[in-house]
Amino acid sequence: MTLDTLDAAFLRRWQALPPRPPQPTDMPIAAPPCTAPAPPPAPMAQSEPPSPPRDDRQPDVPRDESSIVERLLAEAAPQWQAIADRVEAARSRGRRVIAVAGCERGEGRTTIVATLVRVLRSRGRDVVVGEPGTAAAGPTHDKRIVLVDAGVWFPPGPIRRARLLVASYGCEAAILVRRADRPAAGAIEAALEAIGIESLGEVVTFATAGAETEIEP
């Protein structure tokens, strides 16, 4: 287990405390004659510092992912602002629940959601991260934006409308994520339109060095 500075200091302090003198209730009970001696008491587990209160409105971003978010914002600020523009414009048209969906695992959707949340909140927007299938719950009369890390909507093979309807339940618009080494699929736009999901464009990830993030209308 890797300890940060606060955890390590806490454990050093805990280990430096003198042993507690035995209390009457701690004395072992003598074993009856002709029986095996009682086993020694189990060692006390080391306690850990209490976790800080959790804010459910803040997405859980691991430390390594947080550093990635910072780097992406520093290296591609105009592209992230352009994506945020699309999201805000969609919200003004009544698209409250916006999915970030893709075609396979490992496309970077979770990082895109975390970075987009950071950008939108820096612009004063009320943003929450919803769960697939339950994003439509909650009040709908406010100006809140709900972003959903929606997973894979378009796996390899033909697009199946019934599966897409289930995967997109509760969503009103979508940002498609595609790896740079995968071909674009023009049929996806038509499939989204057919089920009433507004496409906000495509984000291309894992592009070669020096290539700009592509956002297609």
Instruction: Give pLDDT, residue 139.
Output: 56
Whether the per-residue pLDDT at 123 is higher than 70: the answer is yes
Mean pLDDT for 135-164 is: 83
Mean pLDDT for 125-142 is: 73
Give the whole-number percent of the chain exceeding pLDDT 90: 42
Residue ranges per structural domain of the chain: 63-216
Instruction: Give pLDDT, residue 129.
Output: 93
Whether the per-residue pLDDT at 34 is higher than 90: the answer is no
Whether the per-residue pLDDT at 114 is higher than 90: the answer is yes
Instruction: Give pLDDT, residue 72.
Output: 84
Question: CA-CA distance, 205 to 62, in Å (whole number)?
Answer: 20
Whether the per-residue pLDDT at 70 is higher than 90: the answer is no
Mean pLDDT for 140-155 is: 87
Mean pLDDT for 104-125 is: 93
Task: Count Cβ atoms within 10 A of the Cβ of residue 39 and give its class: 0-12 exposed, 13-18 middle, 19 or more buried.
Answer: exposed
Sign of the Cα pseudo-torsion (42, 43, 44, 45, in order): negative
Question: CA-CA distance, 148 to 175, in Å (whole number)?
Answer: 10
Helix, coil or strand: residue 36: coil
Q: Residue-wise over 81-109: b if at least 16 C-beta within 10 A, else e? A: eebbebbeebbeeebbbbbbbbbeeebbb
Q: Mention the CATH class of domain 63-216.
A: alpha beta
Mean pLDDT for 14-38 is: 44
Whether the per-residue pLDDT at 118 is higher than 60: the answer is yes
Find, among 160, 153, 157, 211, the residue nearest to 181 by Cα: 211
Chain CA centroid to CA 188, Å: 24
Band of the pLDDT at 73, cuts 50, 70, 90? confident
Instruction: Give pLDDT, residue 2.
Output: 40
Whether the per-residue pLDDT at 112 is higher than 90: the answer is yes
Contact criterion met (CB below 8 Å) for 198 and 95: yes
Q: pTM of the prediction?
A: 0.64
